[in-house]
């Protein structure tokens, strides 16, 4: 938020206006190449919604698989889901800039879903019926416990590991998007101060 | 006794020339961060002609990004540019896609470490330095810290006591504005506080239950953030991410406070983009006569003349300048007749603590809550004058932490139930320790003979490991944190007893220690080098021991004290 916008925010307007004379910096920075895009005021939030968008890294099958998976993990309810938040496009952008190892790791996890789809239902994940996809994800979504009978610990849970990796990427992309921020109820303002802390009577924090 | 000086008093008549390099300054201050800002302000306001050298560029409020949501960042803080140019700097949470240009480019600013001894060195080269992004926690040291060696026999005492420094803590706190609560705990002397920030329900529970069960002090963090209008700056508006700048200047950073005052005095000339290489000596008088720097942009070598040189470049950088200023008389680094220059490097040990959940508090999370830029603090309770001597380690640690409700992005499952669980949130509570790092001879910095930075200036080789005492502190901290969380009612407690790599606390201290004995120290108790009368080091390099409290407040107080002494010397013509 620019200072002008901040001035509009009622909560701090008085304080900021009172301070105006001191807002001048000791030196005014000339237009400098040594600023991050954010420091230069670049707003990149619309870049992913371009009409002619094409994946930078994922192939068509991987991209379609990711769209379906993200929609299952964070579906549209009374609020938009991961598909509407263009989670696949953001993940593609990040992967395009990632190290070889991290890209490989993501693709391995995505391919694991196809492998399990083939093993169980003879088709890659994106071609499964909705209830098959759901069954497959349910079998991966929760960590396996050890044996209640012998007391032995659980074997390494490879499927759950792949699921968690994909889910974390999808959830991170969704909740950092504008749609995701709205989903969490953000009202678009940056200042909600001052911090009031606990206001319960002594001995009661319910 | 603190003397006040008239701002109109002038020791050196102004010259007609406009070229800042054609003048001889009373003082050349190297570095414009927390301590350099103070040195420039104190000396310039006392009438001395000051040149303030900053290796980086100027900074403007127009580049603050604290109110920009992450979705406006192209990579939402996963920028490959940060990974490419700041692989070391990005180990600090504060170096992010928003502001990475404030941090040094690691490719241009190399340093080396021996195999198996990693050290992370976080640096900013811009007006204000790390004061732009610091954690703002501000605690006084006590005589348990200044006189620790006398109590437990390890290392050396500081060459002054708490009573000597207390008036300067007062000056700094009154100017900076420190929010905090007085507790009367002798391990954490009270100061000149602005009203304290409020505690959350979970933090109040912890404060009450830990006091009842263990007697420890759990207090709201003491932070350099304003809770009311103070010295012309507005109170905090609780937007949260101070490290991206503050459009109301509500947290303390030098460009908009001390440096601004220094420039306003009319006695301070700010020279940016001045990458200092070394100090030039006049061997006949055994005094420094100038400072040589490389213009960061043109790479030209330049010289600025002064009657005194004050290094405030950050502990390792100040010592690097001295090491790079060797002469025939000082072959192992300027002002190093003691052989201690570069030695006794410290950085608080971190990695011990615990986290959990407080299920008894059922508060829904909200994205529209004020973001308090502060946490809670647990005062040191090990090896105090009133506690039993611990059998496994000397010194102690303090905790920083907090308790609050948050969205549960790690909720299990998927689909609509996951989406719902995220918003139900959970109440988390955690404590992380900062432990004392013992001053050890074999933790040291030296010049790497085969490594130079992008400006041709010899770079450092940093040799540091944490030792057994630090490891024992973190192990104990994990256990005591778990006990305190348990007493508070926390569930799902997980402990950490790690020893993170040195440098992680970003509290580098030592390498040019103070002391009364010139054979065992580099600096006098007033930060003057024993060997060269007009060279001073006023930053963390001067610390004799690290204590466990965040050090910036003490660095600033030491600087103000040393400047008062230096001004006195100028008056007596004794520089």
pLDDT of residue B473: 98
Let me know if residue B3 belongs to a domain.
Answer: no
Q: Search chain B and give the residue with CA nearest A3.
A: B247
Which residues in chain A have Cβ-Cβ distances shorter than 8 Å to B98?
A: 36, 38-39
Complex confidence, ipTM: 0.90
CATH of the domain at B167: 3.50.50.60
Per-residue pLDDT of chain B (575 residues; tens, 9 = 90+): 343 333 333 344 444 467 889 999 999 999 999 999 999 999 999 999 999 999 999 999 999 999 999 999 999 999 999 999 999 999 999 999 999 999 999 999 999 999 999 999 999 999 999 999 999 999 999 999 999 999 999 999 999 999 999 999 999 999 999 999 999 999 999 999 999 999 999 999 999 999 999 999 999 999 999 999 999 999 999 999 999 999 999 999 999 999 999 999 999 999 999 999 999 999 999 999 999 999 999 999 999 999 999 999 999 999 999 999 999 999 999 999 999 999 999 999 999 999 999 999 988 999 999 999 999 999 999 999 999 999 999 999 999 999 999 999 999 999 999 999 999 999 999 999 999 999 999 999 999 999 999 999 999 999 999 999 999 999 999 999 999 999 999 999 999 999 999 999 999 999 999 999 999 999 999 999 999 999 999 999 999 999 999 999 999 999 999 999 999 999 999 88
User: Strand pairing partners for B193?
Assistant: B178
Instruction: Please enumerate in sequence order all residues whose Cβ is within 8 A of that of B366, keeping only pairs 6 or more positions apart, or say none.
Output: A185
For chain B positions 104-163, those within 8 Å of chain A (CB to CB) are 127
Residue with structure tokens 């319910």?
A206
Which residues in chain A have Cβ-Cβ distances shorter than 8 Å to B232?
A: 19, 22
d(CA B441, CA B153): 16
What value does the mean pLDDT take over residues A15-44?
60
Task: Provide the edge-to-edge strand list for the sheet that holds B287-295.
Answer: B24-25, B301-306, B287-295, B274-282
pLDDT of residue A34: 94
Determine contact, residues B381/B187, Cβ cutoff 8 Å: yes
Q: Search chain B and give the residue with CA nearest A202.
A: B204
**Measured on CA atoms in the order B354, B359, B361, B366, is the torsion positive or negative?**
positive
Quickly list H helices, B343-490: 416-424, 468-488
d(CA B26, CA B44): 9
> What domain range includes position B189?
23-571
Cα separations (Å) of B171 from A54, B36, B565?
60, 16, 15
pLDDT of residue B14: 44
Residue with structure tokens 């920009």?
B68
pLDDT of residue B8: 35
Let me know if residue B91 belongs to a domain.
Answer: yes
Cα separations (Å) of B434 from B398, B476, B500?
6, 12, 11
CB contact under 8 A, A25 and B59: yes
Determine contact, residues B129/B31, Cβ cutoff 8 Å: yes
What value does the mean pLDDT take over residues A25-50?
78
d(CA B276, CA B294): 6
Q: How far is A117 from chain B (nearest CA, A)?
A: 18
Let me know if residue B14 belongs to a domain.
Answer: no
DSSP string, B445-486: EEEEEEEE-TTSPEEEEEE----HHHHHHHHHHHHHHHHHHH
What angle is formed at CA B363 by the lines to CA B357 and CA B367, rounded to 5 degrees? 100
Domain count within chain B: 1
Cα separations (Å) of B185 from B36, B200, B381, B514?
31, 22, 10, 27
d(CA B207, CA A141): 38
Let me know if residue B12 belongs to a domain.
Answer: no
Residue A11 has pLDDT above 90, yes or no: no
CA nearest B471: which of B543, B397, B544, B545? B397
pLDDT of residue B95: 97
pLDDT of residue B230: 98
Secondary structure class of B248 (helix, strand, coil): coil
Residue with structure tokens 């069954």?
A135
pLDDT of residue A201: 81
Instruction: Please enumerate in sequence order all residues whose Cβ is within 8 A of that of B458, keeping only pairs 6 or more positions apart, or say none.
Output: B320, B324, B447, B448, B449, B451, B452
User: Quick count: other Cβ atoms within 10 Å of Cβ B297?
Assistant: 11
Task: Establish if B413 touches chain A: CB-CB under 8 angstroms.
Answer: yes
Query: How buried is residue B454: exposed, middle or buried, by Cβ count under 10 Å (0-12/13-18/19+)?
Result: middle
| Digit-coded pLDDT (tens) for A70-90 | 999 999 999 999 999 999 999
Let me know if residue B86 belongs to a domain.
Answer: yes
Cα separations (Å) of B195 from B13, B431, B513?
44, 23, 35
Tell how far CA B103 is from the center of its chain: 15
Omega within 30 of 0 (cis) for the link into A194: yes
Task: Provide the edge-to-edge strand list for the sheet that holds B27-30.
Answer: B268-271, B50-53, B27-30, B309-311, B535-537
What angle is formed at CA A154 by the lines to CA A152 and CA A158, rounded to 5 degrees? 160
Residue of A6, A90, A142 with shortest CB distance to B247: A6
CA nearest B395: which of B553, B549, B540? B549
Let me know if residue B7 belongs to a domain.
Answer: no
Which residues in chain A have Cβ-Cβ distances shorter than 8 Å to B248?
A: 12, 15-16, 19
Most A CBs within 10 A among B57, B198, B239, B372, hence the mutation to make, goes to B239
d(CA B437, CA B418): 44
pLDDT of residue A17: 33
Residue A206 has pLDDT above 90, yes or no: no
Residue ranges covered by each domain of chain A: 59-70+80-141+156-180
Let me know if residue B187 belongs to a domain.
Answer: yes
Residue A2 has pLDDT above 60, yes or no: no
d(CA B117, CA B115): 6
Query: How buried is residue B569: exposed, middle or buried, by Cβ count under 10 Å (0-12/13-18/19+)?
Result: middle
Model confidence at A24, pLDDT cuts 50, 70, 90, reads: very low
Let me know if residue B8 belongs to a domain.
Answer: no
Task: Establish if B263 touches chain A: CB-CB under 8 angstroms.
Answer: yes
d(CA B434, CA B375): 14
User: Quick count: other Cβ atoms within 10 Å of Cβ A142?
Assistant: 12
pLDDT of residue B17: 60
| Digit-coded pLDDT (tens) for A101-157 | 999 999 999 999 999 999 999 999 999 999 999 999 999 999 988 888 988 888 889
Tokens of B394: 């000397």
């Amino acid at each position: 938020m620019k200072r002008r916008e901040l001035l509009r925010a009622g909560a701090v307007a008085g304080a900021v206006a009172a301070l105006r004379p001191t807002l001048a910096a000791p030196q005014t920075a000339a237009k400098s190449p040594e600023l991050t895009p954010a420091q230069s005021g670049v707003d990149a939030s619309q870049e992913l919604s371009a009409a002619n968008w094409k994946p930078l890294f994922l192939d068509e099958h991987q991209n379609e698989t990711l769209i379906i998976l993200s929609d299952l993990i964070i579906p549209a309810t009374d609020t938009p889901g991961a598909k509407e938040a263009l989670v696949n496009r953001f993940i593609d952008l990040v992967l395009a800039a990632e190290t070889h190892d991290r890209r490989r790791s993501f693709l391995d996890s995505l391919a694991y879903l196809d492998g399990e789809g083939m093993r169980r239902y003879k088709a890659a994940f994106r071609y499964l019926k909705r209830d098959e996809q759901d069954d497959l994800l349910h079998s991966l979504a929760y960590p396996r416990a050890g044996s209640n009978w012998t007391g032995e610990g659980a074997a390494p849970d490879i499927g759950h590991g792949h699921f968690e990796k994909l889910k974390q990427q999808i959830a991170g992309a969704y909740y950092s998007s504008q749609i995701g921020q709205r989903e969490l109820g953000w009202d678009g303002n940056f200042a909600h101060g001052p911090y009031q802390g606990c206001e319960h009577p002594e001995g009661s924090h319910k | 006794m603190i003397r006040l000086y008239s701002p109109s008093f002038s020791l050196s008549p102004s010259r007609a020339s406009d070229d800042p390099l054609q003048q001889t300054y009373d003082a050349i201050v190297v570095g414009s961060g927390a301590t350099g800002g103070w040195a420039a302000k104190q000396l310039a306001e006392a009438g001395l002609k000051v040149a303030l050298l900053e290796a980086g560029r100027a900074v403007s409020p127009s580049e603050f990004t604290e109110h920009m949501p992450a979705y406006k960042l192209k990579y939402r803080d996963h920028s490959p540019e940060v990974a490419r140019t700041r692989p070391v700097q990005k180990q600090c949470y504060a170096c992010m896609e928003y502001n990475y240009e404030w941090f040094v480019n690691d490719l241009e600013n190399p340093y080396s470490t021996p195999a198996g001894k990693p050290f992370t060195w976080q640096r900013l080269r811009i007006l204000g330095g790390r004061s732009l992004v610091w954690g703002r926690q501000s605690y006084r040291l006590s005589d348990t810290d200044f006189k620790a060696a006398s109590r437990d026999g390890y290392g050396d005492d500081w060459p002054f006591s708490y009573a000597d420094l207390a008036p300067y803590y007062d000056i700094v706190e009154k100017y900076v504005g420190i929010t905090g609560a007085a507790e009367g705990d002798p391990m954490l002397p009270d100061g000149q506080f602005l009203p304290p920030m409020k505690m959350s329900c979970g933090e109040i529970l912890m404060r009450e239950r830990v006091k009842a069960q263990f007697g420890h002090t759990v207090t709201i963090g003491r932070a350099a953030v304003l809770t009311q209008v103070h010295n012309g700056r507005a109170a905090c508006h609780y937007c949260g991410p101070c490290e991206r700048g503050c459009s109301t200047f509500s947290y303390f950073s030098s460009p908009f406070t001390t440096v601004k005052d220094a420039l306003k005095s009319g006695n301070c000339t700010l020279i940016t983009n001045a990458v200092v290489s070394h100090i030039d000596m006049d061997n006949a008088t055994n005094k420094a006569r100038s400072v040589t720097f490389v213009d960061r942009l043109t790479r030209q070598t330049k010289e600025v003349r002064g009657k005194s040189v004050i290094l405030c470049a950050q502990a390792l950088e100040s010592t690097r300048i001295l090491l790079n200023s060797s002469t025939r008389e000082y072959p192992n680094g300027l002002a190093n007749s003691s052989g201690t220059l570069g030695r006794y490097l410290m950085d608080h040990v971190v990695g011990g603590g615990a986290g959990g959940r407080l299920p008894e508090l059922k508060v829904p999370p909200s994205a529209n809550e004020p973001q308090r830029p502060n946490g809670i603090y647990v005062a040191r309770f090990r090896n105090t004058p009133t506690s039993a001597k611990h059998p496994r380690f000397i010194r102690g640690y303090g905790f920083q932490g907090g308790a609050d409700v948050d969205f549960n992005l790690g909720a299990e499952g998927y689909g609509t139930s996951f989406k719902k669980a995220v918003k139900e949130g959970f109440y988390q509570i955690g404590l992380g320790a900062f432990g004392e790092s013992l001053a050890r001879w074999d933790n040291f910095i030296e010049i790497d003979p085969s490594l130079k930075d992008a400006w041709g200036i010899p770079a450092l080789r940093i040799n540091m490991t944490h030792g057994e005492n630090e490891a024992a502190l973190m192990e104990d901290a994990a256990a005591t944190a778990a006990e305190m969380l348990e007493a508070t009612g926390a569930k799902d407690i997980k402990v950490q007893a790690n020893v993170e790599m040195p440098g992680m606390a970003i509290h580098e201290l030592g390498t040019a220690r103070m002391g009364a004995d010139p054979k065992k120290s580099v600096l006098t108790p007033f930060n003057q080098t024993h060997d060269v009368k007009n060279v001073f080091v006023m930053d963390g390099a001067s610390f004799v021991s690290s204590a466990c409290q965040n050090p910036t407040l003490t660095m600033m107080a030491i600087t103000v004290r040393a400047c008062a002494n230096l001004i006195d010397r100028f008056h007596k013509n004794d520089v």
